[in-house]
Amino acid sequence: MRRLLALRREGKLTTTRVRSAADVLGVRERAVWRWLAAAERDEAAARAPGERAAYPGRFTVTDEVRALLALWKGNVAAVHRELTARAARGEGQPPPSIPTLHRAIRRDLTPGERAGLAGGERAARKHDVFLARPRGWRNQVWETDHMQAPVLADVEGKARRPWITWFTDCATNAVTGVAVTPAHPSRESVLAALRSAVLREGPYGPFGGVPEKVRVDRGKDFLSRTVTAAFDLLDVTVEDLPAYTPHLKGTVEGLNRAVESMFLASLPGYARQPRPGKRTARPKDEVLLGFEDFTARLLEWTRWWNTEHRPAPLRGRTPLEAWQDDPTPLRDVPAADLWTFTLEDAGTRTLTTRGIRFRKRDYVGPWMTGQAGIQVRIRFMPHHDHRIEVYHAATGRYLGPADLADQATEEQVGAVRKTRAARAHRLRKDLEASQRERYAAVNQPEPPRRLGALTTAQAEAELAQTADSDLAQLAMPDLIPHAAPPADWRTPASLAALTTPGPPFRYPYGRDGASAPDGRDGRAEPPATDEDGDAS
pLDDT tens by residue, 207-240:
999 999 999 988 888 888 888 888 998 899 999 9
Nearest alpha-carbon partner for 80 in 91, 63, 67, 94: 94
Is 470 a residue whose pLDDT tops 70? Answer: no
What pLDDT is stored for residue 133 in this prediction?
83
**Angle in degrees, 0-180, between the axes of helices 291-307 and 250-262, rounded to the nearest 10:** 120
pLDDT tens by residue, 93-128:
899 999 999 999 998 899 999 999 999 888 888 888
The DSSP bridge pattern shows strands 213-216 and 398-404 to be unpaired
What pLDDT is stored for residue 306 in this prediction?
93
Helix/strand number for the chain, H first, E second: 17, 16
The whole-angstrom separation of Cα 314 and Cα 337 is 34
pLDDT tens by residue, 62-98:
899 999 999 999 999 999 999 999 999 988 889 999 9
pLDDT tens by residue, 318-357:
999 999 999 999 999 888 778 777 788 888 999 998 889 9
Q: What is the mean pLDDT of residues 438-458?
A: 61
Residue 72 to residues 60, 68, 91, 107, 118, Cα–Cα distance (Å): 19, 6, 19, 19, 8
The structure's pTM equals: 0.63
- Phi and psi of 160, rounded to 5°? -130, 155
What pLDDT is stored for residue 247 in this prediction?
84
The whole-angstrom separation of Cα 251 and Cα 142 is 9
**CATH of span 141-273+287-325:** 3.30.420.10
Q: Is 170 within 8 Å of 252 (Cβ atoms)?
A: no
What pLDDT is stored for residue 418 in this prediction?
78
Rg (C-alpha) for the chain, rounded Å, is: 41
User: What is the widest separation between alpha-carbon atoms in the chain?
Assistant: 162
Q: What is the mean pLDDT of residues 367-391?
A: 85
What pLDDT is stored for residue 520 in this prediction?
44
Mean pLDDT of the chain: 80
Q: What is the mean pLDDT of residues 45-51?
A: 64
Q: Is 189 within 8 Å of 165 (Cβ atoms)?
A: yes
Is 442 a residue whose pLDDT tops 70? Answer: no
Higher pLDDT, 457 or 34: 34
Banded model confidence at residue 39, pLDDT cuts 50, 70, 90: confident
End-to-end CA, the chain: 138
What pLDDT is stored for residue 48 in this prediction?
64
pLDDT tens by residue, 130-174:
878 888 999 999 999 999 999 999 888 888 999 999 999 999 999
Is 52 a residue whose pLDDT tops 70? Answer: no
Nearest alpha-carbon partner for 371 in 343, 347, 345, 400: 400
- Phi and psi of 496, rounded to 5°? -65, -25
User: What sign for the dihedral angle of Cα 38, 41, 44, 47?
Assistant: positive
Banded model confidence at residue 521, pLDDT cuts 50, 70, 90: very low
Q: Is 363 within 8 Å of 402 (Cβ atoms)?
A: yes
Q: What is the mean pLDDT of residues 313-321?
A: 92
Q: What is the mean pLDDT of residues 356-368?
A: 88
Banded model confidence at residue 43, pLDDT cuts 50, 70, 90: low
Nearest alpha-carbon partner for 383 in 166, 190, 203, 178: 190
What pLDDT is stored for residue 253 in this prediction?
92
**CATH of span 343-416:** 2.30.30
User: What sign for the dihedral angle of Cα 293, 168, 146, 233?
Assistant: positive
Helices (H), 164-313: 187-198, 225-233, 250-262, 291-307
What pLDDT is stored for residue 258 in this prediction?
93
Is 493 a residue whose pLDDT tops 80? Answer: no
Q: Is 379 within 8 Å of 349 (Cβ atoms)?
A: no
Higher pLDDT, 287 or 431: 287
Nearest alpha-carbon partner for 164 in 289, 255, 265, 261: 255
Chain centre to alpha carbon of residue 259: 20
The residues spanned by each domain of the chain are 1-44, 63-127, 141-273+287-325, 343-416
Give the contacts of 116 (CB within 8 A, at least 6 positions apart): 123, 124
Range name among 157-166, 327-336, 469-478, 487-496 with the lowest pLDDT average? 469-478
Q: Is 193 within 8 Å of 178 (Cβ atoms)?
A: yes
Q: What is the mean pLDDT of residues 508-524?
A: 44
> What residues pair up with 379 in beta bridges, in sequence order?
345, 389
Q: Judge whether 141-273+287-325 and 343-416 match in fold.
A: no
Is 508 a residue whose pLDDT tops 50? Answer: no
The whole-angstrom separation of Cα 37 and Cα 51 is 13
Q: What is the mean pLDDT of residues 406-428?
A: 75
The whole-angstrom separation of Cα 248 and Cα 133 is 9
Give the contacts of 355 (CB within 8 A, at least 6 positions apart): 362, 363, 364, 365, 368, 402, 405
Q: What is the mean pLDDT of residues 366-387?
A: 84
Is 407 a residue whose pLDDT tops 70? Answer: yes
Give the contacts of 229 (CB within 8 A, at least 6 positions apart): 345
Q: Is 107 within 8 Å of 65 (Cβ atoms)?
A: no
Range name among 161-170, 199-208, 361-370, 473-482 with the lowest pLDDT average? 473-482
- Three-state DSSP at 295 gives helix
Range name among 135-139, 256-260, 351-355, 504-508 with the lowest pLDDT average? 504-508
Is 251 a residue whose pLDDT tops 50? Answer: yes
The residue length of the chain stands at 536
Is 202 a residue whose pLDDT tops 80? Answer: no
Is 32 a residue whose pLDDT tops 90? Answer: no
The whole-angstrom separation of Cα 338 and Cα 340 is 5
Higher pLDDT, 314 or 462: 314
